[in-house]
Chain A
């Protein structure tokens, strides 16, 4: 036993349970062998009306520390931008936010952007074909049965499906759009930006189509249609045709109309809600 004893401040913090885990462990180790400090702890505990230690609370805190899963980086990011912690968890659970998907999609976009950088017009078209499809594929996998295996219990919970889908979609877009934009900066000319409205339009189409068919089928259909359209247009035009105001407005109208259809038909949402 040493000549060292608990100072008043440490004692107070320990008794009021506002000390750190390390500090508390140190105090406990000391009082096991020091009768004098043990007596002081008892006296102080009585003084602050804590004579009876709430073992249940202590046990709960211990279990909390062991059992509660630590939030992922993405979940903490969502909380940091203002999403309530419980909704950040609901969003971050989606398959689309797992590393393998993000890395895969980023690799495809990076490849397309690099090809456009070092290649000729054909590669720019390739970038244009791939970039808008990536966000809508990510949105599709963020709430589909094949990548969300816990779906059946999820389906019968009272949490609003519409809200969940919109939260996940917004999170995907918030993640995917800046990433694609950043990777696309290496693409020459204005091409890095022309895909933004098509991407939004396609995501809205996928959401609307999800009220009839599964999200991945919707995303696959949209992507194939877009690839076909790009292939047809590139034979007679340059990539800048997509920049024309009427084309961009058309994509804006497509996005708005599709979103309206989605909201109106949300109760028919496939996968997250029963098929009709």
Chain B
């Protein structure tokens, strides 16, 4: 496919004998793309490849038409990239302002007035303007996560790579962050990984599901949800035929099955149902694409 902002061709990444990613082909366009998958599926490895934090063992990764393997092109990518890693450590004694200011320096914001204004803008954006002078070590987990996100937003980059951006963030802030990301997605490509299917459902048009280093689904969120139509129902007991069942807050059991059923009380499937169905479905031949 042409015109993609990010493209991967036959990309693989190994760590010693462990293959974290294998034969990944993707073309990603502007908008918010969600990455779903269990722990160890390769989500973080894929995001680190896209963020130029890690080189691929095999294949070709291009971001904004530039090759991540070529030093000069990699630097150009980094000028247009915001990256939130899964785990961010903070230098001892730093305030939120000082940390984001430090990353801004590394992002070539040399002019103090412009840099400070930008630092304030991103701290405002993540709702931390009142905590700018607070030491990061004294912050809650959610606040620290927002500080880390703020540094990724510096310069409103056209490519935003976010590894679990809403982890530890309270529901109100999650809604705020979704609004921020949706706004950014008007002009940027946002690739985010998460375990929160509701974040993907709320934000993303497209979802990529990874499992054991391979792409198991790549397509529209609505298409994935549609695959679960007629396969989700409520019952008083867990159904043995269901792939997964769990007790809901009403005391009834939500059953999700690979086979459609007619004789049951169907409910509207969610993305989580569809994801669980996909994860539980081992009969398929592999990748399901649009």
Contact: A152 with B103, CB < 8 Å? no
Residues in A whose Cβ lies below 8 Å from that of B95: 67, 69
Nearest CB on A from B49, distance (A): 10
**Most central of A95, A150, A267 by chain B CB within 10 Å:** A150
Q: What residues of chain B lie closer than 8 Å to A156, measured between beta carbons?
A: 51-53, 78, 81, 83
**B105 touches which of A149, A159, A275 (Cβ 8 Å):** A159
A90-B53 CB under 8 A given contacts A150-B89, A150-B90: no
What 1/0 mask marks residues of chain B from 151 to 168 whose CB sits below 8 Å from any chain A CB? Answer: 110000000000000000
| Residues of B86-132 whose CB lies within 8 A of A | 87-92, 94-95, 97-99, 101-103, 105-108, 110, 112, 116-117, 120, 132
Q: Does B54 sit within 8 A of A, measured CB to CB?
A: yes
A145 and B71 alpha carbons, distance in the complex (Å): 22
Is B219 in the interface zone, CB < 8 Å from A? no
| Binary interface encoding of chain A residues 61-75 relative to chain B, with 1 for a CB under 8 A from any of its CBs, else 0 | 001101111000000
1/0 contact string of B138-157 vs chain A (CB within 8 Å): 00000000001001100000
A72 nearest CB neighbor, chain B only: B93
B55 to A274, Cβ gap below 8 A?
yes
B192 to chain A, nearest CB (A): 16
Task: Give the distance to chain A from B215, nearest Cβ to Cβ, in Å.
Answer: 23
Q: Does A2 contact B (CB under 8 A)?
A: no
Count residues of A near B (Cβ-Cβ below 8 Å): 32
The reply to whether B55 and A159 contact each other, CB–CB distance below 8 Å, is: no
Question: CB of A148 within 8 A of chain B?
Answer: yes
Distance (whole angstroms) from the CB of A157 to the closest CB of chain B: 4
30 contacts between A and B (CB under 8 A): A64-B116, A67-B97, A69-B94, A69-B98, A86-B110, A89-B102, A90-B105, A90-B106, A93-B91, A93-B102, A98-B92, A148-B91, A149-B88, A149-B90, A150-B89, A150-B91, A150-B102, A152-B53, A154-B103, A155-B53, A156-B51, A156-B83, A157-B103, A157-B106, A158-B75, A158-B79, A159-B106, A274-B52, A274-B53, A274-B54
Chain A residues with a Cβ under 8 A of chain B:
60, 63-64, 66-69, 84-86, 89-90, 93, 95, 98, 148-160, 267, 274-276
